[in-house]
Chain A
Amino acid sequence: MKIDKNTINKIARLSRIKLDDKESEDYIKDLNSILDWVEQLNEVNTENIEPLSNISSSILPTREDVSKDANSSDEILENAPDKLEGFFAVPKVVE
């Protein structure tokens, strides 16, 4: 797999990162070398092997269904650049 200009633009847009031409070139180079390195794994035969989503042998820890009264709005909104009556205020999102 090769990363080209179109792919890098798509990834940048999906990540909401603005890249200038110089940065795009740099990322194309970086990402391609990472992919080349990872592609060594293709040499391994993985036929009939289920993907492994986690290498830990421990069991998913769970919690009981108890709610804690957070009354969180002041703390949660502390870093918000803009807020109004307990809401985050963000630039208009259409739809």
Chain B
Amino acid sequence: MNNLIKGEKHDWEMVIGLEIHAQVKSNSKLFSSSSTKFGSSPNSQVSLVDAAMPGMLPVINKYCVEQAVKTGVGLNAKINNYSVFDRKNYFYADLPQGYQISQYKYPIVGEGKVTIDFKDGTSKDIRIVRLHLEQDAGKSLHDQNPSKTYVDLNRSGVALMEIVSEPDIRTPDEAGMYISKIRSILMYLDTCDGNMQEGSLRADVNISVRKPGDGYGTRCEIKNLNSIKFIKQAISYEAKRQIEILESGGAIEQNTMLFNTSTGKTRPMRNKEEAHDYRYFPDPDLLPLEISEEEIVKIKSSIPELPDELKNRFIETYKLSNYDASVLTAEKKTSDYFNESINSDPELKNHAKLVVNWITSELFSLLNKNNFDLTNSPVSPENLGQLVKLISTNEISGKIAKDVLDDMFSTGKTAREIVDEKGLKQVTNEEEIEIVIMEVIKDNPKMVQEFLEGKDKLLGFFVGQAMKKTKGKANPKILNEILLKKLNK
């Protein structure tokens, strides 16, 4: 795979690292008992701690700590028995404390790695630097009033896990695959709901460009991207911008950028003259966080089968390709559906590839087209399994099966019911097919003549006519064989 961008004098390579902010799936906030529910009326879930009233003290949510440890294990990372909460100081209207409680020098989780899988069967490890716990800020609305900013503190104090990668990513696609993989792991672990639209998962992207083999270039950071599409767009645009500057003899200024989702362009944040100086120091309101080996072992034992393990099991059990298995395990709901479907009939495990195809191409496209989700699919996993079985036993052709699936989708009936009701059973009887073919040949003498004179393309026409007469039910293989035999006579 070529990861380079063509330049005027030489090729360029992108160097990308991600900081992912994942909201911990919990009932209450990191240091207060306020609810974390999304979409409530403004400032209705704000305790005196979240509003930073004088004299309030933070008390840590034990469950959030466990979730962070669990995530660390899922990222194949080192869990630190000792970590410290620091204050990251800055002024902003939606940060009532004047500082964010975060972890700086001693994060709860250390180095780890995740693997991304490419379509061509290869894979690549992306190293994780760390994961730390921190508070989210409130939400500011800037576009409601020309002279005011409106602030809602409901999100203030919600627990976030910041997952920092090494700059191991080289293309926009890799960045997309990396965040998808992290999202998938978080959702299998059930430590984050992975909802990017609601902001439960968002990322800051660090990017620089260099001549392959050179040291790192000066990087820019693009803040707060909340969809995989935007992450890829922002990276592509920013890399192009940097290359243009460098090729015209300029230098990259280290900057924090914002991505405009409607123009697809990045631009530097204003106020850059006030370079951030966070003055981190240990929060005197909080003691160090200590986690014993026993607690870590206990949390490890609660961890479900993760996407990579599941993927390997699918490859081994069902002889699936690495890519198919990684598509199936990208989301828990997909692997759950596949599992239920393939286990609905003992015969199906010999046709796993067929089951995968009918889920990931046919069913997915129907779901997309009708704005359904796999979790509320009108076609149950068992019914899909039954459909695949009808195909695998040659009762219906693949082509008919598509129509059957359409019907299953809109009526909720089983494949068997539809095939029986509509008489769609495939015609495999050779005599029956031969009769139809003879009719087609008789009806089209001119075409037959042309075919015999060498117009081979006409074969498709005869197949089409015969299929039409059988309403698509003829077994295509038998049909083709007989047709060729008859025409060559």
Q: Which residues of A contact B (CB under 8 A)?
A: 10, 13-14, 16, 53-54, 56, 58-73, 76-77, 82, 84-95
Q: Which residues of A contact B287 (CB under 8 A)?
A: 54, 56, 58-60
- Note all chain A residues with C-beta closer than 8 A to B279: 14
The answer on a CB contact under 8 Å between A54 and B284 is yes
Neighbour of A67 across the interface among B28, B46, B153, CB < 8 A: B28
- Residues of chain A contacted by B63 (CB below 8 angstroms): 64-65
CA distance A52 to B290 in the complex (A): 14
Q: B277: nearest residue on chain A (CB-CB)?
A: A14
- Known: A54-B287, A60-B289, A89-B151; 11 extra A-B contacts, CB below 8 A, are A14-B279, A62-B60, A62-B65, A65-B27, A66-B27, A67-B37, A72-B34, A72-B44, A73-B42, A76-B51, A82-B148
Q: A64-B62, A95-B270 are in contact. Are A72 and B43 (CB under 8 A)?
A: yes
Min Cβ gap B38→A in Å is 13
- Listed A/B pairs (21) with beta-carbon separation below 8 Å: A53-B282, A54-B282, A54-B287, A60-B288, A63-B62, A66-B33, A67-B36, A68-B34, A68-B47, A70-B35, A73-B42, A76-B43, A84-B145, A86-B42, A88-B43, A88-B152, A89-B148, A90-B151, A92-B145, A92-B147, A93-B149
Q: Is the CB of A72 within 8 A of B150?
A: no
For the complex, give the distance between the alpha carbons of A56 and B290 in Å.
Answer: 13
Inter-chain contact B33/A73, CB cutoff 8 Å: no
Closest A residue to B41 by CB, please name it. Answer: A86
Contact A60 B286, beta carbon cutoff 8 Å: yes
Residues of B in contact with A (beta carbons under 8 Å apart):
26-28, 33-37, 41-47, 51, 59-65, 84, 89, 91-93, 140-142, 145-153, 258, 269-271, 274, 277, 279, 282, 284, 286-290
Nearest chain-B residue to A65 (Cβ)? Answer: B63
| Set of chain B residues within 8 Å of A87, measured between Cβ atoms | 42-43, 141, 150-152
- Assess the A72–B46 pair: CB atoms within 8 A: yes
Interface centre among A56, A65, A71, A77 (most CB of B within 10 A): A65
A residues within 8 A CB of B282?
Answer: 53-54
Q: How far is the CB of A95 from chain B (nearest CB, A)?
A: 6
* Residues of chain A contacted by B148 (CB below 8 angstroms): 82, 84, 89-92
Q: Assuming A14-B89, A67-B28, is B41 touching A73 (CB within 8 A)?
A: yes
Q: How far is the CA of A53 from the CA of B44 in the complex (A)?
A: 35
The B interface is mostly helix, strand or loop, or mixed, namely loop
Chain B residues closer than 8 Å to A71, beta-carbon distance: 44
Which single residue of chain B is at the shortest CB-CB distance from A64? B62
How far, in angstroms, from A76 to B61 measured CA to CA in the complex? 22
Q: How far is the CB of A1 from chain B (nearest CB, A)?
A: 14
| Docked pose: A69 CA to B51 CA in angstroms | 16
Residues of B within 8 A of A63 (CB): 33, 59-62
State A64–B147 Cα separation when bound (angstroms): 42
Cα distance, A90 to B150, chains bound together (Å):
6
Contacts of A70 in B (CB 8 A): 33-35, 44-47
Name, among A58, A62, A82, the residue most crowded by chain B CB atoms within 10 Å (CB to CB). A62
Which A residues touch B51, using CB under 8 A?
76
Q: How far is the CB of A58 from chain B (nearest CB, A)?
A: 7
Residues of chain B contacted by A89 (CB below 8 angstroms): 145, 148-151
Q: What separation, in Å, do the CA atoms of A65 and B282 have in the docked complex?
A: 24
Whole-angstrom distance between the Cβ of A43 and the nearest chain B Cβ: 22
Asked whether, in the complex, the Cβ of A95 is within 8 Å of the Cβ of B42, the reply is no
Which residues of chain A are within 8 angstroms of B146 by Cβ–Cβ distance? Answer: 92
Instruction: Tell whether A65 pairs with B28 under 8 Å between CB atoms, given A93-B92, A94-B271.
Output: yes
A60 touches B27 (CB 8 A): no
Can you list the 5 inter-chain pairs with the closest CB atoms, starting with the nearest?
A65-B63, A53-B282, A87-B150, A62-B62, A86-B42
Nearest residue, chain A, Cβ from B159: A65
For B89, what are the chain A residues with a Cβ–Cβ distance below 8 Å?
Answer: 14
Find chain A residues with CB under 8 A from B151 CB.
87-90
- Assuming the contacts A53-B84, A67-B33, A88-B150, asked whether A72 and B42 have C-beta atoms less than 8 A apart, the reply is no
Docked Cα-Cα span, A85 to B279, in Å, equals 35
Docked Cα-Cα span, A56 to B35, in Å, equals 31
Q: Is the Cβ of B150 less than 8 Å from the Cβ of A84?
A: yes
Partner among A13, A58, A73, A95 whose Cβ is within 8 Å of the Cβ of B43: A73
Residues of B within 8 A of A69 (CB): 35
Q: A76-B43, A76-B51, A93-B92 are in contact. Are A65 and B274 (CB under 8 A)?
A: no
Please state if A85 and B269 are interface contacts (CB–CB under 8 Å).
no
Residues of B with C-beta under 8 A to A95: 142, 258, 269-271
Which residue of B92, B147, B290 contacts A59 across the interface (Cβ within 8 Å)? B290
Task: Report the nearest A residue to B51, measured CB to CB.
Answer: A76
Q: CA A93 – CA B64 in complex, angstroms?
A: 32
Assess whether A73 is in contact with B46, with CB atoms less than 8 Å apart: yes
